[in-house]
Structure 1
Amino acid sequence: MNAKILFLMLGIISSAFKSQVGINTKNPQATLDVNGDVMIRKVDTLATPENGSRILVLSNNNTINQIDADHLLTPKIIVKGLGGTGFSLLSISLLNGWLQVSFPTLEIDDGNNYSLSQQEFITPKTGIYNVYFFLEMASLLSASTTGIGIFKIGISGNITLLCEESFANINVLGIGVSPPTRSTQTIVKLNKGDKITFGMRGVVLSNISLLANSNAQFSILQER
């Protein structure tokens, strides 16, 4: 037997009684303390733990720990909806004066988390989300106060206006108008089952012609 291998084996056996084994160190500070490179030639494939995946990480004090890797291995949730000439308002009142916006097209929704029938994003997992909403009308608006808003619908059904952008009208040649664009954005913590939807106010269904040739879009990105 190679003398170096024999020496290493004897060192490990003798160190076992101390409950600490050192390789290239005479003063091990852990159960196995390796002073040098480590090569692992084969690792058996293990079944995924019932409570999630695990990965090994090197911490600041040079010890190896395992952490929950689900948030690293699971793709982030991304949804993007578009509304061109098909953008419309539903007769669903979110809060006083607010009507729900309908987006006919989803450009991105890999996890199928946005319901086109309900026009709601249904949160699949608790996390922090970045939500953005943009609307551009085809011309200056004559409505007195036109605004867009992002709404959260809790599991219990309660509706909360998270953020909004509205402009009161200004007079141009004696006619009350306001700028044609609106945008609003927020970062919010959502629990699994919470819903996000989008609303508009200042335009009534009887004056729906204002939406002709207008454009709207939204995006939802899971931050963590």
Structure 2
Amino acid sequence: MKGCLISLEGGEGAGKSTVLEALRAHLECLGIKLLVTREPGGTALGEAIRSVVLDEQMGQVCAESELLLMFAARAQLVRELIMPALDEGTWVLSDRFTDASYAYQGGGRGQPEGRIAELEAWAASGIKPDLTLLLDVPVEIGLARAQVRGVPDRIESEQSGFFDRVRSAYRERAGLEPSRFRIIDSSQDIDSVAASALAAVDEFMIRQRDSK
């Protein structure tokens, strides 16, 4: 039986790292064989690309280069880790997946949706998450949280208008695929956010069980 792919999405300061660890602990406690990864990253090549993409010293990286770099990392992750894991029945929990490109490189950078869809079909082998948890937080709240984490990376250094477009793109994606997305109000305290995420995963697992 194939595994399931669960992705965690959201803008800056949404609390993804904390929620990811809560989900990891919850799924492992249930005895589910689990692979946890992140984007960009997860593989040696992906982590190298991540360091380039997020490096503030890189200066002006054109939108086309950023998009292709993200999908280069994703192509490697899909083929090296995600596809083999799913085929052997392992569940995959990913900190971001292709929806992030529609939000950041599409909504944020203005790259055409059709171009991203072509790359999704080719570089990502058309793989989509079975469940996507969107941690949705107003931009001003998210950026205020992100500021306390330390020196911002190249993308975190963008202006608020960029993140407004990212958030709108995420919410639009969720509206187009309501059966896959669960929107979680991430302006709550982190314990409440994590509890909502766990409840969404539990509900997904019940639906998976009942459909068999």
Length-normalised TM-score, structure 1: 0.24
**TM-score, structure 2 normalization:** 0.25
Higher relative contact order (CA 8 A, sep 6+): 2
The structure carrying a bigger strand percent of its residues is: 1
